[in-house]
A and B are shown apart, each in its own frame.
Chain A
Amino acid sequence: MSSLNASLAIALSGLASEQGALEATSNNVANVNTPGYSRQVPVLVASDPIVEDPLTFGTGVTLQSIQSVRDPVLESQIQQETQTQGQLSALVSALSQTQTNFSSTGGDIGSAISQFFDSVNQLSTSPADLSLRQNVLTAAGNVATAFNVASNNLTAQRTSLDQGVEQTVGQINQLTAEIAQLNGQISNVENAGQSAGTFVDQRNQLINQLSSLVDVSVIPSGNSLILTTANGTALVDGQHSFQLSTRPDAVGVQHIFSQGSDITSSIVSGQLGGMLAARDQQIPAIQTQLDTLAAGLANAVNNVQTGGYDLNGNASTGHNLFTPPPASTVGAASSLSVALTDPALIAASSDGSAGSNGNAEALYALRNQAVINGQSPGDYYSNIIFNVGNAAANATASQSASSLVLQQLNDQRSSVSGVSLDEEAANMMRYQQAYAASAQVISSINSMMQTVINMKNS
C-alpha cells in the first residue's frame, strides 16, 4: 500500500539529496583555483524499493557519497615527470652558473694562456729585454689567476649546492611528516566509511611537491600508502615518516643518511638528485679537467724553463716558472702560482749568452705541442668549453622536453579532474530545479493531506 507519508518521505529524500549535490557543486566552484583540487561529483542512487505484491514502490533517492574524480595512473605519471623536471631544473641552474666561467671575457683561462704564449714569442725577438721578460712574468701570473678564479668559483658553487642539499633535505622531512599525518586522517575518515577526497587531494599535492625534490615511489597499502625513494629507502609508512639527515664527510661535503645508512649516491632524481649530480659529478669533472690543464701546462713550462739559462748566464736548474703542481694534479688549478719574481731568471737562453732565444723558442713551441693528454693547451681548453657547454645544452634540452610532457600530463589531469564552471553552473541549475520540483511535490502532498483532514471534519 502506498501512503501519502511514504510520498512525503520520498520527496524529502529528493530535497536532501539535491541539497547535498548542490553542496558538492558549491564546493567545486569555491575550489576552482585550488591547486591539486579534484572536482567532486555527488553519487546519487535510487533507494531500495519496497515490493508489495504485485507492485514495487520506489523509496526515493540517496546521496550515497561525494567522490573526487581522479585518474591514479595519471597522478603517478605526473609524480614521475615532476621528479625528472626537478632534477633537470636543478642541473640546468647549476650548469648555467658553471659555464659563465668559460665565456670568452678576456680574463678567462683561454685568453690568459694565449697572452702568455704571445708574451713569450715577443720575448723571443729580444730575449735580453727586461720589460719583455716582465711581461712574460705578468702574463704567467694572469694564467695562474685565471685558473685560481675559475677553480675557486666552481668550489664556491659546490659549497652553495651543499647548502642547497641541506635545505632540500629539511623540506623533504617537512613534507614527509605532513604526508604521514594526512595518511592518518585519511585512514580515520575512510575507516569510518566516508570519502576522504579532499585529504587525498592534499596528499597528492604534497607528494607532487615531494616529487619535485626527490625520487619517490608510491606504494598503496590498504587505505594508506608507503613512500620510498627509488632504491627503497622508506620515507613514509602509514602514519610514520622517516626523517633524512645530513652529515658532512671528511672533506666537509654533506652526505644524506636515512636511519644510519648513507643513501647519497642512490638519489638520482628530483631537485636533490640534480643538485647531487652537479655537486658530485658534473662540477668535479670540470675541476679535474682544469687541474689536468693547469698541471700539464705548469709542468711543461717548468720542464723547458729549468733546462735553459737565465739573463745572467746561469743554468736555471731548479728555477721553476710556476710553483710545481701536486703530483696527483688534484687542486692544481686552484693552487697554481708563479714561482719567479725576478724577470732576469726567465730562461730565454739556450747557450748561456743573454741574447740567445733558443729556450724562449722552446717555451713558445709548447703552444702547439701535445703536452696535455695528447692535446695542445688551447685544444684541451676548447674541449673543456665543449664539455661544459654540451652538458648545459643537453640538460636544457631535456628540461624543455620534460616541461612539455609535464604540461601535457597536467592538461590531461585537468581534463579529468579540473573544475569547469560551465559544468558546475549547469549542475547547479539541475539541482535547483529538482529541489524546486521536490518542494512542489511536498506542497502537493500537503494539500492532499489537507483534503484528507478536511474530509474528517466535514
Chain B
Amino acid sequence: MRINPNPLSDLLSALSQTQQQINSDLRQTASGQSVNQPSDNPAAAAQLARNADQTAEADQFLRSVNSLSGEMQNADSALNSVITTLQRAISLGVEGANGTLNASDRAALAAEVQGIQSELLSLANLSYQGNFVFAGTATQAAPYVLDSTSPSGVRYVGNSGVNQITVGNHLTVAANLPGSQLFSAAGADVFQSIQDLITGLQNGTGIDTAVDAVSSAYQHINAQRVFYGNVMNQLTSQQTFLNNETTQLAQQQNNLGGADLSKVLSDLVNAQTSRQATLEAIGQTQQTNLFNYIK
C-alpha cells in the first residue's frame, strides 16, 4: 500500500498539540490553579463558586461574631458594675436600718444612695458604637430618662425588642436584653427599689423592706447577666467552628482547583521533551529523496 509521502502536516499538528499542553501546564504553574476557566473542569468550577460563596459567608460570620463579642463584653461589664453598685446600696441600706443612727446620719446615707442612683442610670443608658445597649431595639435614644412624676424617679422609653443575629448556618443568637427585662422587671425593679431605699433612709421607715427589694433586684440582675455569659460562650465556640470551617473550605478549594504542581511540572518536562523530539524529527525527515542521488 502507498504510504503518505508528506507526513509534515502530521508532525505540525503533533507540535501544536504539545504546545497546547505546554501552555496549559505553564498556566497552571503560574496560577497554581488547575481550574483557570470553567471549561477546564465544569463540575469543579461550579463547586469552586459555591466554595467561594461559603468562604465569604464564613468570613462574614467571623466579622459579625467579632462585632457582637465587643458589644456583649461591654454589656456584661456594665452589668458587673450594676451588681457591685447594688451591693454597695444594700450595705448602705443595712447600715441605715441600724436603729442607733440619727436622722442626719441617714440623710448622709440617703445622699450616697442618690449617687448610686445616678451611677445606675448612667450604666443602664450604656451606649456602644452609637447604640444604646439596654434599649431593646429602640437603640437611638437613651432608654431611661429622669421623670419626677414616676414613682421610681425614671421612665423607660426603650422597647422590649430583642434582635436575633445570624452568625452561622442555622445558628442565630439573641443580641441584647432590653432594659424592661433587666432593670424594670416586675418585682425586681432596680430603680424603684433604689428610690424606695432613698425615701426610706430619708424618712427612717421601711428601710428593711427597701433593702429586701434592692436584694431581689440584685439577684435578678445577677441571674439575667448569665444571658451575656452564655452568648459570649456561644460566640467563642462559633468562632472556633468558623475558623475550622474556613480551613476546611480552603482545603476543599485546594482539592477542587489547586494545581498538583509536581505532576504539572513533570508533564511540562515531558511535553517539552516531546516537542524537542518532534522538532528534531521534522528537521531530519525530508532532507533527502531519490532526486539527491540521481547523477
Contact = CB atoms under 8 A, between A and B. Distances in A.
A407 B38 contact: no
Contact of A351 (B53, B159, B175): B159
Interface string A104-122: 1000001101110110011
B88 interface: no
A103 B37 contact: yes
B64 A124 contact: yes
Interface in B198-247: none
Interface string A46-83: 00000000000000000000000000000000000000
A412 B4 CA distance: 7
A382 B47 contact: yes
A357 B293 CA distance: 93
B137 A355 contact: yes
A393 interface: yes
Interface stretch (A163-171, A245-253, A362-370): A362-370
Interface string A301-330: 000000000000000000000000000000
Interface string A341-368: 0000000010101111110010011011
A344 to B, nearest CB: 12
B30 interface: no
Contact of A128 (B68, B131, B136): B131
B52 interface: yes
A383 B1 CA distance: 52
Which of B38, B41, B48, B64 has the most C-beta atoms of chain A within 10 angstroms of its own C-beta?
B38
Nearest to A99: B38
Contacts of B1: 415
Contact of B165 (A124, A129, A387, A426): A124
Nearest to A397: B39
A421 interface: yes
A271 B278 CA distance: 31
Interface string B1-30: 111111001100100000000000000000
Interface in B50-72: 50, 52-53, 56-57, 59-61, 63-64, 67-68, 71
Contact of A378 (B39, B53, B63, B159): B53
A418 interface: yes
Contacts of A259: none
A424 to B, nearest CB: 8
A415 B56 contact: no
A184 interface: no
A85 to B, nearest CB: 12
A361 B50 CA distance: 21
B104 interface: no
Nearest to A422: B290
A426 B71 CA distance: 97
Interface in A116-140: 117-118, 121-122, 124-129
Interface size for chain A: under 10, 10 to 19, 20 to 34, or 35 or more residues? 35 or more
A382 B37 contact: no
A358 to B, nearest CB: 7
Q: Which residue among A99, A104, A122, A365 has the maximum number of chain B CB atoms within 10 Å of its CB?
A: A104
Contacts of B291: 421, 424-425
A415 B64 contact: no
A114 B165 contact: no
Given A386-B42, A418-B5, A128 B139 contact: yes
Given A349-B137, A425-B291, A386 B39 contact: no
B130 A122 contact: no
Contact of A389 (B37, B50, B64, B130): B37
A126 B129 contact: yes
A390 interface: yes
Nearest to A413: B4
B161 A353 contact: yes
Contacts of B13: 403, 407
A423 B5 contact: yes
A426 B290 contact: yes
Contacts of A117: 57, 60
A351 B43 CA distance: 43
Nearest to A396: B39
Contact of B5 (A125, A129, A421): A421
B46 interface: yes
B166 interface: yes
B37 A378 contact: no
Contact of B4 (A99, A386, A389, A415): A415
Contact of A421 (B4, B165, B290): B290
A354 B50 contact: no
B164 interface: yes
24 contacts: A95-B39, A104-B49, A110-B49, A114-B57, A118-B57, A124-B163, A128-B130, A129-B129, A355-B131, A355-B132, A355-B137, A355-B163, A357-B163, A357-B175, A364-B166, A378-B50, A378-B53, A381-B49, A382-B49, A385-B38, A386-B38, A390-B38, A392-B42, A396-B39
Of all A-B residue pairs in the complex, the 6 with the closest CB atoms, nearest first, are A389-B38, A355-B139, A389-B42, A425-B290, A420-B5, A392-B39
